[in-house]
Structure 1
């Protein structure tokens, strides 16, 4: 049975290990709303959208994206990476000097740059990242920061998961929660101890 347009998009998103919004950004869309219109049945998968996906993820067949016929992958290959995962709070784990033994191992495609996976246990990033989601985190440097993307920030004063922006006037990083109940946090770059890009998250609906 052929998958419908949204089912194909959903399958691709799951394969990348990203959230819908992060996936949309990865292929050059401004936001995930363009994809959610497909879920609602307002739009189908256009040739332009298929080209964006195939350009970013060349393993995926353009024909399959558009029609659902044949295999999802060109040559039907699927590389997967093993990621150490923890059943503990990501903020607690990131602050440790040495990580404990992993609780389990995740096997995910296109996850070669993920350092570890751990739980999001506060509401600061809801609804973008729900409480209980497993974050896929890549250690990075402040010089490589992409403004507006979510990061797990460890400084000598605060540890938090937030969307991070540069504040050039103050020379600081502005940490902004998705949940409006949480205020902005300003962090001086020299106070950073660790920085992890949130490459995506996994959330199982119960």
Structure 2
């Protein structure tokens, strides 16, 4: 069940339409709820919080992930009314990948035309994270294929730190690379940490320059999360 479908299920449960549901949760018009349903969008954290505040019997975890029952037990509902709940640090996860020709590199699409696959709790490990992507490819040996990278978007590109890992997005591709100063002040150099070579000695993942003006988004890699044997979640922070 997709996030927007869970919103519909809550509306049906209480016998509400878009207008009455919007009014009930304190939204002045039905545009927000209408867009979530009609465009099959994922609701924002703010919208989810409004829903559980108005309808405390609805499970926040269920709204967010689809796990657990929709309705809390009566004891849980009573406890939540009396005990403040620490808000989760929820960030969007983009998990739709497409290949970008070359040496087994992939990117997770996070463009504005694409909705997050889901929202995840970044927890205490990555308090500054603003988004997350699924990592693919083998050019960066620190990050196991399939792991989730926790990212912090860089607003001021003058503050990019050489030697740190970044997810760099242009209109043509998105790559995870270790960044260094480029050939001039108008470029940034993108390096891979996989030093594998062809038989003639040439690097498979050669460094390359990216023009600053071509970068649409750039995010610092804070660390990654991977599921180990037995389902244990392993967290690893990036370089300090």
Structure 1 length as normaliser, TM-score?
Answer: 0.54
Could you tell me whether the CA contact under 8 Å between 1:116 and 1:137 is conserved in 2?
yes
In the aligned structure 2, how far is the partner of 1:86 from the partner of 1:160?
A: 14
Residue 139 of structure 2 is matched in structure 1 by 124
Instruction: Write the mapping of 1:1-206 to structure 2, written as runs, cut at 5 A.
Output: 81-89=89-97, 91-94=107-110, 96-126=111-141, 128-141=142-155, 142-167=157-182, 169=184, 171-180=186-195, 181-206=204-229
* Structure number with higher relative contact order (C-alpha < 8 Å, ≥ 6 residues apart): 1
Could you tell me whether the CA contact under 8 Å between 1:124 and 1:177 is conserved in 2?
yes
* Residues 87/187 of structure 1: CA separation in 2 closer, same or farther (3 Å cut): closer
Residue 3 of structure 2 is matched in structure 1 by none
Could you tell me whether the CA contact under 8 Å between 2:168 and 2:175 is conserved in 1?
yes
Encode CA deviations 1:172-199: one digit per residue, 9 max, x unaligned: 2100011123111111111111111111
Residue 52 of structure 1 is matched in structure 2 by none
Encode CA deviations 1:10-29: one digit per residue, 9 max, x unaligned: xxxxxxxxxxxxxxxxxxxx
Larger radius of gyration between Structure 1 and Structure 2? 2
* Residues 143/129 of structure 1: CA separation in 2 closer, same or farther (3 Å cut): same
Q: 5+ unaligned residues in a row in structure 1: which ranges? A: 1-77
In the aligned structure 2, how far is the partner of 1:80 from the partner of 1:97?
A: 24
Tell me how large the CA RMSD over aligned residues is: 2.4
Deviation at 1:79, TM superposition (A): 8.4
In the aligned structure 2, how far is the partner of 1:115 from the partner of 1:195?
A: 12
In the aligned structure 1, how far is the partner of 2:116 from the partner of 2:220?
A: 22
Question: Which runs of at least 4 in structure 1 moved beyond 4 Å after TM superposition?
Answer: none
Could you tell me whether the CA contact under 8 Å between 1:91 and 1:152 is conserved in 2?
no
Could you tell me whether the CA contact under 8 Å between 2:170 and 2:217 is conserved in 1?
yes
Could you tell me whether the CA contact under 8 Å between 2:108 and 2:135 is conserved in 1?
no
Could you tell me whether the CA contact under 8 Å between 1:121 and 1:132 is conserved in 2?
yes
* Residues 116/169 of structure 1: CA separation in 2 closer, same or farther (3 Å cut): closer
Could you tell me whether the CA contact under 8 Å between 1:80 and 1:109 is conserved in 2?
no
In the aligned structure 2, how far is the partner of 1:156 from the partner of 1:102?
A: 21
Deviation at 1:80, TM superposition (A): 5.5
SS of the equivalent of 1:174 reads: strand
Deviation at 1:110, TM superposition (A): 4.9
Encode CA deviations 1:85-119: one digit per residue, 9 max, x unaligned: 2433383323x124414424224115332111121
